[in-house]
Structure 1
Amino acid sequence: MKDLDTLKYFLGIEVARSASGLFLCQRKYTLDIISEAGLLGAKPVNVPIEQNHKLGLASSPIFSNPLAYQRLVGRLIYLAVTRPDLAYSVHVLSQFMQEPHDEHLEAALRVVRYLKGTPGQGILLRADSDLTLQGWCDSDWAACPTTRRSLMGWLVFLGHSPISWKTKKQTTISRSSAEAEYRSMVAVTCELKWLKGLLLSLGVRHHKTIKLFCDSQSALHIAKNPVFHERTKHIEVDCHFVRDAIKDGLIFPSYIPTKSQLADIFTKALGQRQFEFLLRKLGISDPHAPT
């Protein structure tokens, strides 16, 4: 074993230390992606994916070199390790690996043009963290135009720093938006339960009830109401799981308006104004950008 001194660079992830905390980014890796795509001189865009896109119903010709598309999207998937702002767009693009169309390639290159304007963007793990967990969850009901499955996204903060996030298509079709929101609540509850155990193994005892923010009043009502009825009997296992977590004092679900829902950035393509607003709330920044 060798002592390689203070961590600065590991598998493409750059680590910068300051009194504020640890800043993680993949600037060199990002510039390599831009260079390989031949877009070093391209004009940057403000959001990684267009609003109201129809990539799931693409009708353009099939791209002639799928390996190039697969390589590009594969690199973007690894880049999303320190870039929560890419989670949704990478999720969408990765669904067309087997048979990408020209429209999908154009969308992937748009993500690269977005990176052109924010190559050093990353997350700050703050030094003043109180080591308490917070969860945020959201869903987009029947988002997939072909399977009609809903898209869920969730985010976990440790103190004021984002440490875990995901965008994922739900495995079953939800019969209502409330059910889709509730299933995303189940997913983040599983993650919070695991993270609490992980912190305990590191010697950090999390005694406080974890706040869980959801923008669906119906889903919150299902979570807190112990009465089963016709609309919830088919998700009984999930209902028991969340209600047991509430009863055990693990989580405390609360309502938050949709405009302030941080997990919204993981479930849909947003306009520039809302996208940048949520990025600031997430604590995503670029210390290399001119002030």
Structure 2
Amino acid sequence: MLHITLPHNLVPRIFLFPMAIEAEIEVLENNHTWTLTDLPKGKFAIDCKYVYKVKFNLDGTLERLKVRLVAKGYTQREEIDHVDTFSPVAKLVFVRFLLSIAAIKGWFLHHFDITNAFLNGELKEEIYMKKPPSYNKSTPHQVCKLLKSSYGLKQASRQWNYNLTSSLLDFGFKQSKSDYTLFTKHEADSYIAILIYVDDILVASNSNKAISTLRTFLNLKFKVRDLGCLRYFLGLEVARSSKWIHLCQKKYVLDILSYSGMLGCKPLKIPLDQNFNISKEDSNPITDPSIFRRLIGRLLYLTITRPDICFSVQVLSQFMDCPNDTHLAAAYRILRYLKAAPGQGILLSSSSQLQLRTYCDSDWASCPDSRRSTIGYCIFLGDSLVSWKSKKQTVVSRSSVEAEYRVMVATCLELTWLHYLLTDLGFHHP
């Protein structure tokens, strides 16, 4: 059973959740998400529930109590209640890449958030849902016939993305073929590029007027929250000056340390020793593997702005199936390393050139269990580090030369993709 201890100043506000439920139902009704009707013979009504979430600001203060009505989409039947479910999201490598270009070009960076995004998707299938708990309108035996998509439906994200994409294309944006979440528009002296991550929109432009025009257009189509200049995006803390853009995840690091009980630990200078080598047979398996799995999952997301722990986390992530005491101790060692500089991140220089540079290497047969090699590469745009990876190869290389060629192939694939993105953004890179 999960036990959550809430701050003393938050406990009285928990009783405001019923008000949040009423607000959620009001939004759904105003959006004409459903119509109440009798369940036709032979049809099946999926269930729903409320999901409660406490949202905090970047400084840790309470932002709001959020309630979301979520359909139990796992009971949907393929080819009956849903067909296509896939929806593209931006790669976080591209987020860094776009921010580095914005730093070089001096573009304005803005952040929009679409309120109740999934409720804007138009449904093609005939779907019925049971009435929400404590919703007493109409007769008890009636159900909700969904007219628009709802959170929890398997096709909800796809329908929302289709609606947003269609609206942007009608407004004159051009969709990138290298990354379907990138849209660009060039008019006279103004240039604007937007990056979509579900309902978060990152806008980069050389004109504040173009950003205002986009905001007006989105408000006509959807309900948009203008979050102002980019400060916080997908857990990334963004600080900007005239000379650089700094990305870090300080709050996320402190949350990990707090969750693991390591806030008071003694810091270390390196995450792992240079000759550190572990295998599956090192020691006894731990009694609760979920502790290790949750910790590694959090650390994997932290590698978005911390390339210094990328290799260490990659090594430990190979033992998620059966972690032992040695693996857990190594994971805690990484936490002690993070304690030394929780605000460390990457710096995107404004004085760089739009020139791609890369370095790659491999460690031949480094895995003691499978004898597979580990590859690693890092790619710079000018002086700004934008992409990196550390990964164990999928096959055994029969020589160190073969391992080197394989890492060069992986690096060239990433370089080719970034080159296409530069072209789509309107930059010539011979």
Deviation per CA, 1:43-85, whole angstroms, max 9, x where unpaired? 1111111222232254211011111111100000000000000
Alignment correspondent of 2:413: 190
Query: What SS does the corresponding residue of 1:34 show, helix, strand or coil?
Result: helix
> Relative contact order, CA 8 A, sep 6+: which one is greater?
1
CA RMSD of aligned residues (A): 1.0
Name the counterpart of 2:250.
Answer: 27
State the partner residue of 1:54: 277
Partners of 2:392 and 2:233 in 1: CA distance: 30
Take 1:40 and 1:3, find their aligned partners in 2: how far apart are those partners? 34
Partner of 1:180: 403
SS in 1 for 2:229: coil
Aligned to 1:205: 428
**Alpha-carbon separation, structure 2, partners of 1:190 and 1:32:** 35
Percent identity for Structure 1 against Structure 2: 56
Structure 1 contact 150–180 (Cα < 8 Å) conserved: yes
Q: Identify the match of residue 156 of structure 1 among 374, 379, 392.
A: 379
Shift of 1:119: 0.3
How far is the alpha carbon of 1:183 from its aligned partner? 1.0
Following superposition, which runs of at least 4 residues in structure 1 exceed 4 angstroms of deviation?
none
Counterpart of 1:112 in structure 2 is 335
SS in 2 for 1:50: coil
Does structure 2 retain, via aligned residues, the 8 Å contact 1:48–1:114?
yes
Matches of 1:199 and 1:179 in 2, distance apart?
30
- Aligned counterparts of 2:375 and 2:341: Cα–Cα separation in 1: 26
Q: Which one has the bigger strand percentage?
A: 2
Higher normalized helix content (fraction of residues): 1
Q: Distance in 1 between matches of 2:420 and 2:348?
A: 20
Q: Which region of structure 1 is more displaced relative to structure 2, 32-41 or 139-148?
A: 32-41
- Equivalent residue for 2:13? none
Q: 2:307 aligns to what?
A: 84
Q: Is the 8 A contact 2:375 2:390 kept in 1?
A: yes
- 2:264 aligns with 41
Is structure 2 residue 293 aligned with structure 1 residue 73? no
Residue pair 1:137, 1:185 contacting (<8 A) in 2 also:
yes
**Distance in 2 separating the partners of 1:71 and 1:139:** 28
**C-alpha separation in 2, matches of 1:39 and 1:118:** 14
Correspondence for 2:322 among 99, 111, 115: 99
Equivalent residue for 1:257? none
Q: Which whole-Å CA distance do the structure 1 matches of 2:270 and 2:281 have between them?
A: 20
Q: Distance in 2 between matches of 1:190 and 1:10?
A: 27
Q: Are the aligned partners of 1:93 and 1:104 in contact in 2 as well (CA < 8 Å)?
A: yes
Matched, 1:145 2:356: no
Whole-angstrom CA distance in 2 between matches of 1:96 and 1:74: 12
How many Å separate the matches in 2 of 1:39 and 1:20? 35
Q: Give yes or no for contact 1:136–1:154 (8 Å, CA) kept in 2.
A: yes
Deviation track 1:187-222 (CA, whole Å, cap 9, x = no partner) reads 101111110001111111112xxxxxxxxxxxxxxx
Structure possessing the higher radius of gyration over alpha carbons = 2
Instruction: Spell out, residue by residue over 1:18-42, the C-alpha distance to the aligned partner (whole angstroms, 9 max, x if none).
Output: 1122100000100111111111111
Write the distance in 2 (CA, Å) between the matches of 1:198 and 1:42.
Answer: 43
Quote the Cα distance in structure 1 between the aligned partners of 2:258 and 2:406: 40
Question: Is this contact kept in 2: 1:57–1:145, CA < 8 A?
Answer: no
Q: Which runs of 5+ in 2 are unaligned?
A: 1-223
Q: What 5-or-longer segments of structure 1 have no aligned partner?
A: 208-291
User: For residues 67 and 190 of structure 1, what CA distance do their matches in structure 2 show?
Assistant: 34
Quick check: 171-180 or 144-153, which moved more? 171-180
TM-score (norm 2): 0.47
SS in 1 for 2:391: strand
Contact 2:280/2:319, CA 8 A, preserved across alignment: no
Conservation of the 8 A alpha-carbon contact between 1:58 and 1:103: no
Tell me how far apart the structure 2 counterparts of residues 114 and 4 of structure 1 sit (CA, whole Å).
33
Number of residue equivalences: 207
Does 2:227 align with 1:4?
yes
Query: What CA deviation, in whole Å up to 9, does each residue of 1:234-257 have, x standing for no partner?
Result: xxxxxxxxxxxxxxxxxxxxxxxx
1:132 is matched with which residue?
355
